[in-house]
Structure 1
Amino acid sequence: MSSNFLAPAEIAEAAAKSGEDKANSSILKLLVLGFLAGAFIAMGFILDIRVTASLPEQWGSLKSLIGGAVFPIGLMFVIIAGGELLTGNMMTVPLALHKKRVKISGLIYNWVFVLIGNFLGSIFMAGLGIWSQVLSADPYKSATIALATSKATLAFGPTIASAIGCNWLVCLAVWMALGSKDIISKIFAIWFPVMAFVAIGFQHVVANMFIIPAAIWLGADISWGQAIVEWCGAFIGNAIGGWLFVGVAYYLTYLRGRSKAGATDVSEEQSTGATL
């Protein structure tokens, strides 16, 4: 009996195949889809700011929950409409690497050009948000500066730790979306993990490539040197979270020792509780 979702072992195969395809994509494709993904994540962040900036401070963490509830639209666009997001590729391409479907040079190639595309899309939306006056007046301006300052002034070690938690959740969202066969299922698979990382306040390198430049252009007391250090910490942590805690964990569980075809007895996986 067919279902509308894949078993975890099937998701692992789909993720490795996706990583292989990504590592073999053209530079133009990576840059264009990378630009779109950076812009999409920034759109989600702008929506978060516009929805929460005017909420009363007395609401406390409820503001973070509301912002987290609207932010996932960015990853929905990436997964469903199409995009190349560095943080998701920190899980899929390493899976293909461990399956020996790509070389380390293919991983570096993908990450470099997707990172460039994501950065261009992010700063484009930062400029557009200010030029359109969506972010240039209070309370949105103050909220943007406060958010960016909290990220740029976080110590390097805690930034890495926070970014690990972020991409653990983001890659689980990507993982579950890969296992979903219809759009509604993909939306819910994406929504809750991304909402969690935003509500918690974890560090996402691509989102931060939008918020920090936007704040600098709005007059925040943040230097570009601080921005680069923050992005480096977020990059390292995101790579660990996606590669180690999702990619390696599920490679060891579902893919290690399997053939390239990776045939899976789904009924056996489900009957033994391996999908839980």
Structure 2
Amino acid sequence: MDKQYLTPAETVKSIVENGKRVLTQSRLRTLVLSLLAGFYIGFGAELATVVSHDAAQVAGRGVAAFLSGSVFSLGLMLVVVCGAELFTGNSMLASSALHGEITWGHLLENWVIVILGNLAGSLIFAGMMFASQLWTAPGVADHAIKIAAVKCQLPFTVALVRGMLCNWLVCLAVFMATAARDIPGKLFACYFPIMAFVASGFEHSIANMYFIPTGLLLAAAQGREVPGLTWTACFRDNLLPVTLGNILGGVLFVAFAYWYVHLKVDGRRSRQSRPGDAS
């Protein structure tokens, strides 16, 4: 009977081996997959906005946060099962670089292409949702604008720490999804950590590339000037600290930690643990 999951040590080896794709994958393919990831996270974000816009009035803020996180998890499910390049999940490439399978230059090149592709996909999707006029439903636009404004008003350190906590969970979701050997297992692996980070109020850079521009577009359409909600604040006050936090959280707490525990032995890379030796 086939194994239903990989052990943590086997999972790290699989992640390291998978990271070698950046050596052969074309930049154009990476860009297309990055655009798709921006779309997929956008689907989760818009669904979370619609589902949660009046839930707090009916069931309370805690239940509203839980519902928002539950439906938002669709985004990572699409990324993992359908295949796409998501910047936050690609923090796991640090394991491959640490183990010498790819260079840090390859990692940085991938990150630059992927984050730009994710941004483009998120902006395109925000524009499509704006053009759909689905925001005319009572209360939805106001809720979307409020979400964006709150994110732009976070202090730098708060946004940084929330970004770290967020991608710690996102990368654990990727880790568990890699360990799962079937589709239901991968879906559950995505659901619980993503639900947890959204319900907790942590900050995800790619989701915010959708949330904040959507709020800006809707505020502009209504002729509203919302304190703190500007394009400058979007990039400087939110995306900059949140992205840095996402990198730190994913690289330190997941990619480095599990590489160190399972692949680094006595201060050097274990020859026995090399990905190519795994069967």
TM over 0.5: yes
Once the two structures are superposed, residues 70-128 of structure 1 have per-residue CA deviations (whole angstroms, 9 ceiling, x without a partner) of 1111100000001000000012x101100111111101110010011100110111111
Aligned to 1:15: 15
User: Are the counterparts in 1 of residues 14 and 275 from structure 2 also a CA contact under 8 Å?
Assistant: no
Aligned to 2:100: 100
Change (3 A) 1:18 1:217: same
Written as runs of structure 1 = structure 2, the 5 A alignment for 1:258-269 is 258-259=270-271, 260-261=274-275, 263=277
Aligned mates of 1:24, 1:204 — CA distance in 2:
28
Aligned to 1:246: 254
Shift of 1:225: 1.0
Aligned to 1:75: 76
Gaps of 5+ in 1: 266-276
Shift of 1:261: 3.4
Q: Please, which of 226, 235, 243 is the counterpart of residue 228 of structure 1?
A: 235
Query: Which SS does the other structure have where 2:138 is aligned?
Result: coil
- Are 2:91 and 1:90 equivalent residues in the alignment? yes
Q: Which moved more, 1:132-141 or 1:36-45?
A: 132-141
Query: Which SS does the other structure have where 2:234 is aligned?
Result: helix
Written as runs of structure 1 = structure 2, the 5 A alignment for 1:19-34 is 19-22=19-22, 24-34=24-34
Moved over 4 A (4+): 262-265
Change (3 A) 1:262 1:245: farther
In structure 1, what residue type is equivalent to 2:63? L
User: Are the counterparts in 1 of residues 55 and 61 from structure 2 also a CA contact under 8 Å?
Assistant: no
Aligned mates of 1:146, 1:155 — CA distance in 2:
17
Aligned mates of 2:134, 2:13 — CA distance in 1:
42
Gaps of 5+ in 2: 220-224
In structure 2, what residue type is equivalent to 1:227? C
In structure 2, what residue type is equivalent to 1:131? A
The alignment's C-alpha RMSD in Å is 1.5
Aligned mates of 1:171, 1:224 — CA distance in 2:
28
Aligned mates of 2:134, 2:26 — CA distance in 1:
35
In structure 1, what residue type is equivalent to 2:261? T
Aligned to 2:245: 237
Aligned mates of 2:202, 2:243 — CA distance in 1:
12
- What count of residue pairs does the alignment treat as equivalent? 264
User: Are the counterparts in 1 of residues 20 and 96 from structure 2 also a CA contact under 8 Å?
Assistant: yes
* TM-score, normalised relative to structure 1: 0.92
Change (3 A) 1:207 1:97: same
User: Are the counterparts in 1 of residues 176 and 186 from structure 2 also a CA contact under 8 Å?
Assistant: yes
Aligned mates of 1:23, 1:61 — CA distance in 2:
44
